[in-house]
């Protein structure tokens, strides 16, 4: 296993290099000149050129990339075009709110969805199964922006139970209770999709597992239903479900752009939108690389979880 993990980590190096090249090319192919946003409307060509020089945009693209890469290898992701502050502290300050929001969402969703999927599978064909399946389709189909605006109107504007956005009250230091109070609505919006999606997958997997021969054998031997469910059913059903969890983990960093915008959540998703509007290339490059690293680590973690859940899986 150690050799396998080391091999995967070494393989990730050229992958990250290719991703950084692709991200750099795409960012710089975007129409418009970032220098136009940071000069006065009636700026002279000399002033625009001086701004380009200050931003490091006066050099050829290969030189710009190699400069960025050399700094990135030393842990320096450059300076933001808009604020002139180092990118790394900005990224860390926005990463914590995003991990808080998405971590709470995924944890809450899995706690709710996995039992619902098991119940739906055990009650297959009954009104309970129909209700849960129908609710899952609604949860997957409803747009985040529509649900978010609806919850804000009902629970914030009309009832006044929850704040309309942000992570804390203006002018106050956000404590645990304040953060939890602000988390309720955005977590509810995001959880609607994740609960519905995981419930459907868990239901389908459990139905497939219940049809396996070893489940019939355990039932014929007279084992209690609870024992069959916990020792045989859930453990084998978790193998394909782990794949879904692996695709959800990168969202811990990527965040939910639409939901963060609606609730003015100070995370990476909102930072990405601001960086796109301001053509802040260093911020965009940093967010892209960070997302790529998380995706690669999530894939590695999924492979390790496969071996933990199913002892038959060996990595030589």
The residue to which tokens 């939901």 are assigned: 259
Is residue 20 included in any domain, yes or no?
A: no
Q: How many CB atoms lie within 10 A of CB 97?
A: 23
Number of domains present in the structure of the chain? 1
Percent of the chain with pLDDT over 70: 83
Query: Is 107 inside any structural domain?
Result: yes
User: Which of 18-32, 86-100, 198-212 is predicted with the least confidence, judged by mean pLDDT?
Assistant: 198-212
* Assigned domain for 58 exists: no
Is residue 31, in this structure, part of any structural domain at all? no
79 by DSSP, 3-state: which? Answer: strand
Q: Count the helices and strands in the chain (H runs, E runs).
A: 14, 0
pLDDT of 186 > 70? The answer is yes
Nearest to 18 by CA among 292, 297, 294: 292
CATH number of the domain bearing residue 176: 1.10.3720.10
Residue 10 within a domain: no
Look at residue 314 and tell me whether its pLDDT is greater than 80.
no
> Any idea which of 31-35, 123-127, 221-225, 274-278 has the lowest mean pLDDT?
221-225
- pLDDT in the model for residue 101: 87
Tell me the H-state helices in the chain. 2-29, 45-55, 61-73, 87-122, 127-141, 144-151, 176-210, 213-220, 225-227, 234-248, 251-254, 257-262, 268-277, 281-309
Whether residue 61 lies inside any domain: the answer is no
Residues 259-313: tens digit of each pLDDT: 888 888 888 888 888 888 888 888 888 888 888 888 888 888 877 777 776 666 6
Note whether residue 26 is domain-resident.
no
Domain extent, residue 278, equals 87-309
**pLDDT interval class at 174 (50, 70, 90):** low
Q: What is the 3-state secondary structure (H, E, C) of 116-144?
A: HHHHHHHCCCCHHHHHHHHHHHHHHHCCH
Q: Is 67 a domain residue?
A: no
pLDDT band, residue 194 (cuts 50/70/90): confident
Query: What are the residue ranges of helices labelled H in 142-175?
Result: 144-151
Residue 236: name the closest of 244, 228, 245 by CA.
228
pLDDT of residue 242: 77
């Amino acid at each position: 296993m150690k050799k396998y993990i080391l091999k995967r980590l070494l393989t990730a190096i050229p992958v990250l290099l290719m991703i950084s090249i692709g991200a750099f090319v795409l960012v710089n192919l975007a129409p418009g000149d970032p220098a136009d946003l940071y000069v006065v409307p009636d700026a002279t060509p000399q002033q625009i050129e001086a701004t380009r020089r200050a931003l490091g945009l006066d050099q050829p693209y290969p030189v710009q990339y190699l400069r960025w890469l050399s700094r990135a290898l030393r842990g320096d992701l450059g300076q933001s075009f808009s604020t002139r502050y180092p990118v790394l502290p900005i990224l860390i300050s926005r990463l914590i709110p995003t991990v808080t929001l998405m971590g709470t969402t995924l944890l809450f969703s899995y706690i709710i969805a996995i039992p619902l999927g098991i119940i739906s599978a055990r009650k297959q064909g009954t009104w309970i199964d129909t209700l849960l399946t129908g609710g899952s389709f609604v949860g997957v189909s409803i747009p985040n922006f529509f649900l978010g605006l609806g919850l804000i109107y009902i629970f914030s504007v009309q009832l006044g139970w929850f704040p309309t956005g942000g992570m804390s009250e203006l002018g106050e230091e956000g404590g645990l209770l304040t953060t939890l109070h602000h988390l309720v609505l955005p977590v509810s919006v995001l959880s609607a999709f994740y609960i519905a999606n995981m419930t459907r997958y868990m239901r389908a997997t459990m139905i497939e597992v219940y049809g396996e021969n070893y489940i019939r054998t355990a039932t014929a031997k007279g084992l209690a239903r609870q024992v069959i469910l916990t020792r045989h059913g859930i453990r084998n059903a978790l193998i394909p479900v782990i794949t879904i969890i692996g695709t959800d983990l990168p969202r811990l960093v990527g965040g939910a752009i639409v939901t963060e915008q609606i609730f003015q959540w100070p995370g990476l998703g909102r930072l990405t939108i601001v960086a796109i509007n301001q053509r802040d290339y260093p911020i965009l490059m940093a967010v892209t690389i960070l997302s790529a690293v998380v995706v690669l680590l999530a894939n590695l973690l999924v492979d390790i979880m496969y071996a933990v859940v199913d002892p038959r899986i060996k990595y030589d």
